[in-house]
């Protein structure tokens, strides 16, 4: 009796989804999806943008309602009408865009999610519990700091702590590695591993093949709202997964540099010993000198927060430099406004498309025209030539090989589509200098390839390109030259073929600065 | 200027500042939950008129005060229905509520203009009763004045030390997060508006039942809007609201003193002193980085899809 029961417990999934279906106007986001989740496993949900991963998990967490289908826990059907119900059933979720409250402290954000919080909040007690759990799983944070004062990596830890302290047994993590620096990802997987050993069921929503193969026990692939297949990690390979993810065959992941560029006589952009003031939590630049020639891609490697944002902002004219000179095509444009830089055909693809490059409640078309209103204005600015704008966008779509819907509100686009929109907008008018920061972050495999191809295309047209990235694979495949940024300084400059990831990695973390940086 | 006149300024600052403080505390609670209630002026007027009418009819100022509070809470429920349930624009709804309050309070109070009531009793500050009558009468306050600072501390405690307050502040910052934590942002906002209305009701009761002990049309004279400005002044913090309302009402009392002492400045100009001080404070505050405006103040929460 006892034996059969334990056996059954082993075989019975902790959580079962049966025939989950949910349609949104114009699209079936989830089409009869079945899924089993066991205790003590890391289950990856893989799929490209818009495959329905997030929607499925938001249904499980009570954020959306399913049109049909049922959810069972330990074999018993349950009804999840709201996050409140989900949390009572020990299901917790970390959203892709962390939605913690920046002006509240770490402990307050966690206390918000504690099921047994007393009416009179005992801050000391909450802090003690946070420290207890954070010691056990090596998730060190300072509970009394404000969320706005801690890094994104630490915020991720707070999110996990929040779930653990709220007694969740099923942890749904939506693109958790998306915001993390490479070295943080590794530590994060270690945490997940120890959680699995303690019997938590972890659902990892991701589109990063590497993550999946590194840490998942089982992998379910969604495609176009349907379950394309589930397999054990041992039997999964990159090819198999890609075949499940995409109906059509994907061209090679890599966009190679075909030949070494001929260096133009004069750089398009030249920074001469630029420094900026250190402000708040940012890192000031220190004597940064950099040349970018027409027709080359200069990659900036570095752990984020080492001056990347400041570098982009100084070049764009968003932030003033305290020292040094900025020359654009030989002209001194030090500390000139971003308007002047834009007029000189500088394009910018920022790291966060939604907050830094979009007006969320305007349509995509209007967002696309935003940076070149002058070009389409007619009758002295009293009307806009939308026809011409559409025609230009369609041309660009053909050239770059991807398209976006033009008449929807920008905010409703998925992260990947939004990024495509920005790439289209910025590359459409043949810019001469492109500043691209983390521009494939959050994109699925196919969009990543398309985006990189767009960049390579722009290079063929003799644009000078600055590519800031944390993805060393990307930097090595696309860049003509690589510079490493550490603590606001450029600590090394290489041709990709003259160096390796190991060396760059050391420079990025500041451990190898003194060795063979001169090359 | 004699000691007596300075004490007089302080005393009348306390009297006129008390209704302001309660109203400000109420607005802080609703704004912390994400609702800016421009209808506060209307709520104050409706509460003040009904409170006064009930006191006159029943002869019981405590009953009048209680009714004033409840009416304040209920009036705010109109605001709640508009902006939470019907998801109407908060600014427009607030202004509509204000004008509604003008009309309704004028109608309620019409037959009580000039009526005399027995207001809330006053007690001399303990230990000062041996002073000459002229002085001790300056330090004779009603219970609402004595309770104002404890109330501010209580509201602070409620917002920053209780589970309810944490949920309320979370709702004002990001209603989606509050929802994700298992709370009902709409319910929390209704609660906040109700508490806000209760406090506005106390402020209104102080004005008509304890301080002036009369009813006159539009007797609040912009107090609702000054309270809204004081919320910004005090950075949405109940304890700073104490200082804010005292400084403002002190300035009012001070300019009255100047006028009565025959200073050769146009009284119209003197009238503006409190507002100039308010402007100066807003200018000084405005430049600082440490903003504490609730992030989703004024935004409609439409719930899950």
- The ipTM assigned to this model is 0.87
Confirm whether A208 is domain-assigned: no
Any CB–CB contact under 8 A between A63 and chain B? yes
Confirm whether A4 is domain-assigned: no
Mean pLDDT (whole number) for A134-153: 86
CA distance B166 to chain A (A): 7
Confirm whether A269 is domain-assigned: no
Length of chain A equals 519
A512: pLDDT strictly greater than 60: no
Same domain, A376 and A463: yes
Confirm whether A278 is domain-assigned: no
State how far the Cα of A126 lies from the Cα of A143, in Å rounded to an integer: 9
A365: pLDDT strictly greater than 70: yes
Same domain, A350 and A487: yes
Cα-Cα end-to-end distance for chain A: 72
Same domain, A229 and A375: no
Of B161, B178, B183, Cβ closest to residue A121? B161
Q: Do B182 and A84 touch (CB under 8 A)?
A: yes
Same domain, A242 and A354: no
| Mean pLDDT score of chain A | 83
pLDDT band at A474 (very low <50, low <70, confident <90, very high): confident
Contact present, A160 and A191 (Cβ < 8 Å): yes
pLDDT of res. A9: 47
Same domain, A380 and A453: yes
Could you give the percent of chain A with pLDDT greater than 90? Answer: 30
State how far the Cα of A188 lies from the Cα of B89, in Å rounded to an integer: 43
pLDDT band at A206 (very low <50, low <70, confident <90, very high): confident
State how far the Cα of A219 lies from the Cα of A209, in Å rounded to an integer: 10
pLDDT of res. A517: 38
Q: Do A101 and B173 touch (CB under 8 A)?
A: yes
CA atoms within 13 A on the CB side of B157: 8
Domains and CATH numbers, chain B: 3-112+143-285 (1.10.3470)
Return the minimum-mean-pLDDT range out of A181-185, A418-422, B53-57: A181-185
Q: Which of A26, A62, A67, A83 to mutate to test the interface with B (most CBs of B within 10 A)?
A: A83
- Domain assignment of residue A37, given as a range: 12-90+214-246
Secondary structure class of B69 (helix, strand, coil): helix
State how far the Cα of A57 lies from the Cα of A54, in Å rounded to an integer: 5
CA distance B90 to chain A (A): 19
Confirm whether A379 is domain-assigned: yes
Contacts of B216 (CB under 8 A, 6+ apart): B109, B113
Contact present, A100 and A158 (Cβ < 8 Å): yes
pLDDT of res. B286: 62
Mean pLDDT (whole number) for A379-401: 86
pLDDT of res. A200: 94
Return the minimum-mean-pLDDT range out of A354-358, A394-398, B37-41: A354-358
Q: Which of A24, A103, A114 to mutate to test the interface with B (most CBs of B within 10 A)?
A: A103
pLDDT band at A249 (very low <50, low <70, confident <90, very high): very low
A400: pLDDT strictly greater than 90: no
pLDDT per 10-residue tile (average), chain B, 305 residues: 80 91 97 96 97 95 96 97 93 96 95 90 83 80 94 97 96 90 93 97 96 92 90 90 90 84 82 82 64 78 63
A258: pLDDT strictly greater than 70: no
CA distance B164 to chain A (A): 7
Confirm whether A461 is domain-assigned: yes
Confirm whether A270 is domain-assigned: no
CATH number of the domain enclosing A477: 3.40.50.300
Instruction: Say what the alpha-carbon torsion angle A251, A254, A259, A264 is, to the nearest 10 degrees.
Output: 110
Q: Do B295 and A64 touch (CB under 8 A)?
A: no
Any CB–CB contact under 8 A between A83 and chain B? yes
Concatenated DSSP letters of A310-373: HHHHHHHTSS--SEEEEEETTEE-TT--HHHHHHTTEEEE-S-HHHHS--TTSBHHHHHHGGGH
Return the minimum-mean-pLDDT range out of A82-86, A392-396, A496-500, B205-209: A496-500
Contact present, A439 and A450 (Cβ < 8 Å): no
| B164 chain-A contacts, CB cut-off 8 A | 119
Confirm whether A107 is domain-assigned: no
Q: Do B292 and A103 touch (CB under 8 A)?
A: yes
In chain A, the number of structural domains is: 2
Mean pLDDT (whole number) for A38-53: 86
């Amino acid at each position: 009796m006892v034996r059969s029961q334990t056996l059954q417990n082993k075989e019975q999934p902790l959580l079962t989804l049966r025939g989950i279906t949910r349609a949104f106007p114009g699209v079936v986001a989830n089409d009869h999806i079945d899924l089993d989740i066991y205790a003590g496993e890391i289950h990856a949900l893989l799929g490209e943008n818009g495959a329905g991963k997030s929607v499925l998990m938001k249904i499980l967490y009570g954020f959306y309602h399913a049109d049909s289908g049922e959810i069972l826990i330990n074999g018993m059907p349950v009804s999840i009408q709201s996050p409140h119900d989900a949390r009572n059933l020990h299901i917790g979720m970390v959203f892709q865009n962390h939605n913690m409250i920046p002006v509240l402290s770490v402990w307050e954000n966690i206390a918000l999610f504690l099921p047994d919080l007393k009416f009179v909040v005992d801050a000391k007690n909450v802090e003690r519990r946070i420290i207890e759990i954070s010691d056990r799983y090596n998730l060190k944070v300072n509970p009394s700091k404000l969320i706005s004062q801690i890094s994104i990596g630490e915020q991720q830890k707070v999110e996990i702590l929040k779930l653990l302290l709220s007694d969740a047994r099923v942890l749904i993590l939506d693109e958790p590695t998306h915001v993390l620096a490479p070295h943080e990802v590794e530590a994060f997987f270690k945490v997940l591993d120890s959680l699995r050993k303690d019997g938590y069921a972890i659902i990892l929503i991701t589109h990063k093949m590497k993550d999946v193969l590194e840490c998942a026990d089982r992998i379910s692939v969604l495609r176009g709202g349907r379950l394309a297949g589930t397999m054990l990690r041992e039997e999964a390979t990159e090819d198999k997964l890609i075949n499940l993810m995409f109906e059509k065959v994907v061209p090679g992941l890599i966009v190679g540099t075909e030949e070494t560029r001929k260096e133009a006589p004069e750089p398009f952009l030249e920074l001469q010993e630029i420094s900026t003031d250190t402000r708040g939590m940012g890192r000031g630049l220190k004597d940064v000198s950099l040349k970018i020639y027409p027709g080359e891609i200069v990659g900036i490697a570095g752990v984020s927060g080492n001056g990347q944002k400041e570098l982009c902002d100084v070049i764009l004219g968003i932030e003033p430099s305290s020292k040094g000179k900025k020359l654009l095509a030989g002209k001194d444009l030090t500390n000139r406004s971003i308007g002047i830089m834009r007029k000189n055909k500088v394009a910018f693809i920022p790291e966060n498309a939604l907050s830094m490059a979009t007006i969320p409640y305007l349509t995509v078309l209007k967002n696309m025209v935003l940076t070149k209103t002058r070009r389409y204005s007619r009758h002295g600015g009293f009307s806009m030539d939308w026809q011409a704008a559409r025609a230009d966008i369609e041309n660009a779509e053909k050239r770059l090989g991807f398209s976006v819907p033009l008449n929807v509100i920008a905010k409703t686009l998925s992260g990947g589509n939004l990024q495509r929109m920005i790439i289209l907008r910025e590359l459409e008018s043949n810019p001469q200098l492109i500043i691209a920061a983390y521009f494939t972050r959050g994109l699925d495999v196919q969009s990543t390839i398309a985006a990189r191809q767009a960049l390579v295309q722009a290079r063929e047209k003799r644009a000078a390109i600055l590519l800031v990235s944390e993805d060393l694979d990307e930097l090595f495949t696309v860049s003509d030259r690589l510079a490493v940024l550490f603590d606001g300084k450029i600590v090394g400059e290489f041709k990709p073929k003259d160096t390796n990831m190991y060396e760059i990695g050391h420079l990025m973390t500041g451990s190898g600065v003194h060795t063979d940086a001169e090359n | 200027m004699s000691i007596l006149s300075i004490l007089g300024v302080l005393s009348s600052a306390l009297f006129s500042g008390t209704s302001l403080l309660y109203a400000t505390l109420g607005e802080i609670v609703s704004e912390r939950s994400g609702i800016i209630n421009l209808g506060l002026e209307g709520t104050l007027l409706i509460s003040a008129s009904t409170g006064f009418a009930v006191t006159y009819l029943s002869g019981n100022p405590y009953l009048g005060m209680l009714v004033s509070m409840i009416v304040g809470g209920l009036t705010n429920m109109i605001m709640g229905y508009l902006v939470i349930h019907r998801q109407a624009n908060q600014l427009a709804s607030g202004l509509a509520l204000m004008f509604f309050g003008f009309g309704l309070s004028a109608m309620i109070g019409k037959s009580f203009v000039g009526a005399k009531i027995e207001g809330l009793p006053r007690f001399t500050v303990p230990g000062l009763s041996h002073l000459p009558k002229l002085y001790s009468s300056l330090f004779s306050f009603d219970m609402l004045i004595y309770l104002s600072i404890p109330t501010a501390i209580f509201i602070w405690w409620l917002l920053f030390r209780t589970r309810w307050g944490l949920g309320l502040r979370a709702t004002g910052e990001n209603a989606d997060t509050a929802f994700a934590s298992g709370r009902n942002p709409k319910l929390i906002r209704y609660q906040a508006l109700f508490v806000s209305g209760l406090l506005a009701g106390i402020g209104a009761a102080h004005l008509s039942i304890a301080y002036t002990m009369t009813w006159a049309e539009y007797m609040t004279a912009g107090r609702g809007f000054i309270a809204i400005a004081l919320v910004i002044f005090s950075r949405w913090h109940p304890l700073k609201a104490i200082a804010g309302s005292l400084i403002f009402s002190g300035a009012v009392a001070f300019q009255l003193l100047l006028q009565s002492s025959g200073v050769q400045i146009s009284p119209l100009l003197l009238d503006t002193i409190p507002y100039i001080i308010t402007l100066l404070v807003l200018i000084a505050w405005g430049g600082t980085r440490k903003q504490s405006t609730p992030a989703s103040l004024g935004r409609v929460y439409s719930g899950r899809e």
